């Protein structure tokens, strides 16, 4: 992780007003970048956010022999006939999404060497479901000195896989490996996230045969080879959702364009319960108010449930509600580090196992807080928008990992925010 040299300084008290547009989803673009490795030649991805994680993934691709050039929000990726089967160990450790290179390189080259992944610290984040699924397809693993080596002595072949939990990454890793496997693979209890459905759409454009993506049973008929393709990345529901909660936090009126409200149904419904007025079109959302949120309960779940990556932002909002709310975190065992920081601002939030009890306070007061991961930094910034005085969110680089133009977007809505 880079040293914490930059912070966001937010002066609270302004109602956000205006319109912004969001770009493609980080959690889709990163996977699409890996997927390019399945087909030699030139791919174009459009609507790609200019964020740190995309830059890191570009370096991962370059290490395995691809070239990756950006022109605005378009990426041109040229994939070689024979990629290097070893992913750069230091980069993989920085970013969990890079574990998808395992199934991909295995399918393309018959071998992969990858470090065990890092990423945000939400407690232990194992990859057993990734490995179990790939083993069912014929992979064999050997872990030595932190480096995982995968081979497929008899090639990869179709299998009937049933996941214990609908893990997004495990479903994607199996999908990426199975499109070039021999025969048919079925993934039961698959993740249904829109970003995964978008990955399947991109793979289909490359010539893959996939049925049921976006449902809990995905069927893949393996093909011999794939061809390069161009793809427009699905809008980022988390980026849109973060600005929507920011608007609600300030009791303002904010419109988000170029998003898909249908991908945020549960989150918007909960914001409505909290007293916000929400209007949607096919590709825009407007949120208005409330002056003070009402308390609500919510529980994070795999899609189409309430997204865990929208949990800290919602807790920030509910910290100033007119009563007590309960949030239950079902996806990660330890996504609670930001709570102590929120309490430093005067919030009254505590945990009991997986439950978060949020007693709404009248007012937050700005102070220096640690934005320890992407969504925590966003949530603390949201809290700062309503707090008395100045909030300093240390760790601006976390925001850079997932939000293109975070400070500029908030400024254009009227926020007083600087990066220092």
Interface positions with ligand UD1 (CB under 6 A): 27, 30, 96-97, 125-130, 165, 167-170, 308-309, 331-332
Contact 397, 52 (CB under 8 A): yes
- Closer CB to ligand UD1, 106 or 364, in the complex: 106
Kindly state the smallest distance separating residue 76's Cβ from ligand UD1, in Å.
22
Name the one residue in this structure whose structure tokens are 């008290």: 13
- Closer CB to ligand UD1, 27 or 178, in the complex: 27
- Closer CB to ligand UD1, 97 or 156, in the complex: 97
- Closer CB to ligand UD1, 130 or 386, in the complex: 130
Q: Which candidate in 120, 370, 373, 400 is catalytic?
A: 120
Kindly state the smallest distance separating residue 28's Cβ from ligand UD1, in Å.
8
Kindly state the smallest distance separating residue 87's Cβ from ligand UD1, in Å.
15
Kindly state the smallest distance separating residue 100's Cβ from ligand UD1, in Å.
8
Contact 100, 31 (CB under 8 A): yes
Dihedral sign computed on CA atoms, order 39, 193, 259, 125: negative
Contact 296, 270 (CB under 8 A): yes
Helix (H) or strand (E) holding 241: helix 237-249
Task: Give the strand pairing for 324-328 and 355-359.
Answer: antiparallel
Kindly state the smallest distance separating residue 147's Cβ from ligand UD1, in Å.
18
> What are the angstrom distances between the C-alpha of 136 and each of 148, 149, 178, 199, 217?
17, 16, 10, 22, 16
Closest residue to ligand UD1: CB criterion? 169
Q: Which two tokens stand for residue 172?
A: 């994607």
Separation of alpha carbons 188 and 169, rounded Å: 14
Kindly state the smallest distance separating residue 254's Cβ from ligand UD1, in Å.
23
Smallest CA-to-CA distance from 238 within 266, 278, 199, 218 is with 266
Told to judge if 120 belongs to the known catalytic residues of this protein, a careful annotator would answer yes
- Closer CB to ligand UD1, 177 or 417, in the complex: 177
Strand partners, 246: none
Kindly state the smallest distance separating residue 287's Cβ from ligand UD1, in Å.
22
Separation of alpha carbons 65 and 283, rounded Å: 37
Separation of alpha carbons 96 and 99, rounded Å: 6
- Closer CB to ligand UD1, 316 or 364, in the complex: 316
Residue 183, Ramachandran bin (φ over 0: left; ψ between -120 and 50: alpha; else beta) = left
b/e 44-81 (16+ beta carbons within 10 angstroms → b): bbbbbbebbbbebbbebbebbbbebeeeebebebbbee
Q: Which two tokens stand for residue 86?
A: 């070893």
- Closer CB to ligand UD1, 30 or 407, in the complex: 30
Q: What is the DSSP letter of 117?
A: P
Residues that are catalytic: 120
């Amino acid at each position: 992780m880079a040293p914490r040299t930059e912070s966001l300084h937010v002066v609270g008290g302004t109602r956000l007003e205006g319109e912004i547009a969001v770009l493609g989803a980080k959690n889709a673009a990163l996977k699409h970048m890996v997927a390019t490795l399945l087909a030699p030649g030139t791919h174009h991805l459009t609507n790609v956010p200019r964020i740190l994680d995309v830059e890191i993934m570009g370096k991962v691709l370059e290490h395995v022999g691809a070239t990756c050039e950006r022109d605005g929000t378009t990426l041109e990726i040229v994939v070689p006939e024979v990629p290097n089967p070893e992913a750069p160990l230091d980069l993989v450790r920085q970013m969990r999404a890079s574990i998808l290179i395992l199934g991909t390189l295995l399918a393309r080259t018959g071998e992969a060497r990858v470090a065990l992944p890092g990423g945000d610290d939400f407690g232990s984040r194992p990859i057993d479901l990734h490995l179990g699924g790939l083993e069912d397809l014929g992979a064999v693993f050997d872990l030595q000195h932190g480096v995982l080596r995968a081979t497929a002595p008899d090639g990869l072949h179709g299998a009937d896989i049933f996941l214990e939990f609908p893990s997004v990454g495990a479903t994607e890793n199996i999908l990426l490996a199975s499109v070039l496997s021999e025969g048919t693979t079925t993934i039961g209890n698959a993740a249904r996230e829109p970003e995964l459905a978008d990955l399947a759409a991109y793979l289909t454009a490359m010539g893959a045969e996939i049925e049921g993506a976006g449902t809990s049973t995905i069927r893949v008929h393996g093909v011999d080879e794939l061809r390069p393709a161009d793809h427009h990345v699905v809008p980022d529901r988390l980026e849109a959702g973060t600005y929507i909660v920011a608007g609600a936090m300030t009791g303002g009126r904010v419109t988000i364009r170029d998003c898909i409200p249908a991908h945020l149904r549960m989150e918007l419904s909960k914001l409505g319960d909290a007293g916000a007025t929400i209007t949607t079109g096919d590709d825009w959302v407007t949120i208005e108010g409330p002056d003070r949120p009402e308390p609500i309960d919510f529980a994070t779940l795999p899609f189409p449930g309430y997204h865990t990556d929208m949990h800290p932002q919602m807790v920030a909002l509910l910290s100033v509600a007119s009563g007590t709310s309960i949030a239950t975190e079902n996806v990660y065992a330890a996504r609670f580090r930001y709570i102590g920081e929120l309490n430093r601002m005067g919030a009254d939030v505590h945990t009991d196992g997986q439950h978060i009890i949020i007693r709404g306070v009248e007012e937050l007061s700005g102070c220096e807080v640690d934005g320890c991961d992407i969504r925590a930094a966003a949530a603390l910034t949201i809290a700062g928008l309503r707090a008395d005085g100045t909030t300093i969110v240390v760790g601006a680089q976390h925001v850079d990992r997932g939000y293109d133009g975070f400070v500029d977007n908030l400024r254009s809505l009227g926020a007083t925010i600087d990066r220092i």
